[in-house]
Structure 1
Amino acid sequence: MPPQSFLGRLETIVTFIIPDAIRLIRAGTSLWRSRPHADSDPDFVPSGSELGSAPDRAARDNRFSPTGVSMFYGAEDMETTFAEIDYSSCRYATVGRFQTTRDLVILDLSEVSYYPSIFDPDERDDYHAADFLRGFAEEIARPLVAGEDYLPTQQVVSEGIQRFTTEPVDGIRYKSAKHPDQFNYVLFFENADCGDRGTEDEIVLQLDPDSVQVGVDLISR
């Protein structure tokens, strides 16, 4: 299937065939995010800006975004954020809980629960579409093997999901490759969209300063 046909098919499936894949997360939803550092005392002052989406100049190659493109990666629980930064050789991390300041539209690929029957005349036409979406959700959540890169999932996001026109979305919910029973989010918001609670009206992700834990020892956990 040509790439553009694939991406068009994906939008058709999640919009019209399995509409439950597009859902709202309400304002006030909590997402945890951590940042590794070498010493127990971080070389930065913990804040919404410092713990939020990396600035473009510091954004590393990631599952849905290439080097230099800022997005917010967060998890529903604190332990999963620590598992997701195992790429770092740093022993310590600082972690905090962000909350969304408005409702967001999410492509939820954490579980595709529609299993149409090929023997049901009202469902059989949906069989291959549901199977396609389940396979795609499994593909984006699996760990990479040696020699692979993130280019396919990065292109699906940049050329497809971020360009949905029927139902534009703000991000994706997906299974963690490190903790398969837990869930991550990637939100299409950059560093300027992150800040501290009660400081700016325009930010989308506010850090709760009471949630911040500084210098968590990752080895002793």
Structure 2
Amino acid sequence: MLKRLYDWTLGLAGRETAEVWLAIIAFVESSVFLIPADVLFIPMGLARPGKAYRFALVATIASVLGGIAGYMLGHFAFEAFAKPVLSFYGKLDEFDHLRQCTGEDTLMLLLVTSGLAHLPPIKVVTILAGVAEVSFLFFVMSCIVARGARFFALAWALRRYGDPIRAFIEKRLGLLAASVAGIVILLYIIVKYSGIAGSITSC
């Protein structure tokens, strides 16, 4: 199922309506869709590098709006809608662990790392932010900064290096983004604990 969903998403890049589909997938990936918008964004940027930054803007705006929708689902409709979605994708246990173990300040950090690198999965943290009633202003700003940084960095790489960068992005982007997220977490630990390593959760 996952492979078919991935192939279907990838196939949208060649359609005349690809930009509309990019907006739709960037929107729904924040709460109900499993495949990240990057899968569609990369081939679109390679096919039309002159529009890469435009695609990045579309994806960022749609992703932020989708994040707001996910936040509202977590805040107002967790039991009725968000919980069944998380359960369907097998993310409910991960959500419950974060919900029990993560303080508000750490959740704010995870909003940034999930936007940059899907670490933890973006839909998990987005819904959790609504459940935990994280500052809505901070939530929106973190979405704009982290998700915008991801899409515009991809646009820059695709415009500068073109097709040769595709294999690197597809194989190494997750590792690179996770490394950046890890550095953010490490800096957070250093600042919060004055150099004393420890868990950033309460569990």
Fold match (TM-score > 0.5): no
- Give the helix-richer structure, 1 or 2: 2
Q: Relative CO higher for 1 or 2, CA cutoff 8 Å, sep ≥ 6?
A: 1
| Greater radius of gyration (CA) | 1
- Give the strand-richer structure, 1 or 2: 1
Normalised by the length of structure 2, the TM-score is 0.28
